[in-house]
Amino acid sequence: MPPGRRNVRKLTLRPPLPRCAIVWFPPFPVDCPIEPFRRRHDPLADALPAHVTLVFPFPTSLTVTQIASHIRRIVGNWPALPVTFRDVESIVDEFVVLMLRERSDAIIALHDKLYRGILKSHLRDDITYEPHVTLGRVAGNPSQADFTTLHDIATREVRGEWRCVLRELAVVTLHVDGKISIDKTIPLNFA
């Protein structure tokens, strides 16, 4: 080999992986103010209905079928779960959220079980899981006044209490081109 030349192999760049998440779409009443508020304040509102994320988006080469099989093993004997949403809160002065209050302990237990097995390595220990629906997000680095205003509006417009029943989960894919698809729905207690 001539001096100065190294045996360098060409690196093949792999395309980025899609990210998957596991969510629940609460069946809020038609007259509920959540979706209208989200359309005005949540950048994801046009791409995805109001949802509770049980497994946060993670990059994966797993297929939707593999993820759905994992979910089926966990929720096959899991009963339908009535829950209650109420109370507008904030997360890190960027997100305004509606909290899941009654039966949140059961949703947290389901979240913990979903992060076992093939999804164990994707659990984020740096986040304390609190089940909620995102109502709005302040993009970028907003001033405190902008965030406070958004929080105050949400508190006025999305007050009340909503009861829903968790009957199914969905696998959602965030594609590398920015599109979001709802790929598979898995019912609870199907066994």
Instruction: Give Cβ neighbours of residue 108 (< 8 Å, ≥ 6 apart).
Output: 129, 131
Instruction: Give Cβ neighbours of residue 136 (< 8 Å, ≥ 6 apart).
Output: 37, 38, 40, 41, 42, 95, 96, 150, 154
Cα–Cα distance measured from residue 145 to residue 59, given in angstroms and rounded to the nearest whole number: 35
Q: What are phi and psi of 115, to 5 degrees?
A: -85, 15
**pLDDT, tens digit, 9 for 90 and up, residues 74-102:** 999 899 999 999 999 988 878 899 999 99
Residue 124, pLDDT > 90, answer: no
Range name among 59-73, 80-94, 108-122, 162-176 with the lowest pLDDT average? 80-94
Instruction: Give Cβ neighbours of residue 44 (< 8 Å, ≥ 6 apart).
Output: 38, 134, 137, 180
The token pair that represents 16 in the structure block: 């980025």
**pLDDT, tens digit, 9 for 90 and up, residues 146-182:** 778 888 888 999 988 999 999 999 999 999 888 999 9
Fold of 19-187: Cyclic Phosphodiesterase; Chain: A, (3.90.1140)
Q: How far apart are the first and last CA of the chain?
A: 66
Average of per-residue pLDDT across 41-68: 92
The token pair that represents 37 in the structure block: 């508020």
**pLDDT, tens digit, 9 for 90 and up, residues 173-189:** 999 888 999 999 999 98
- For 151, the enclosing helix (H) or strand (E) is helix 144-157
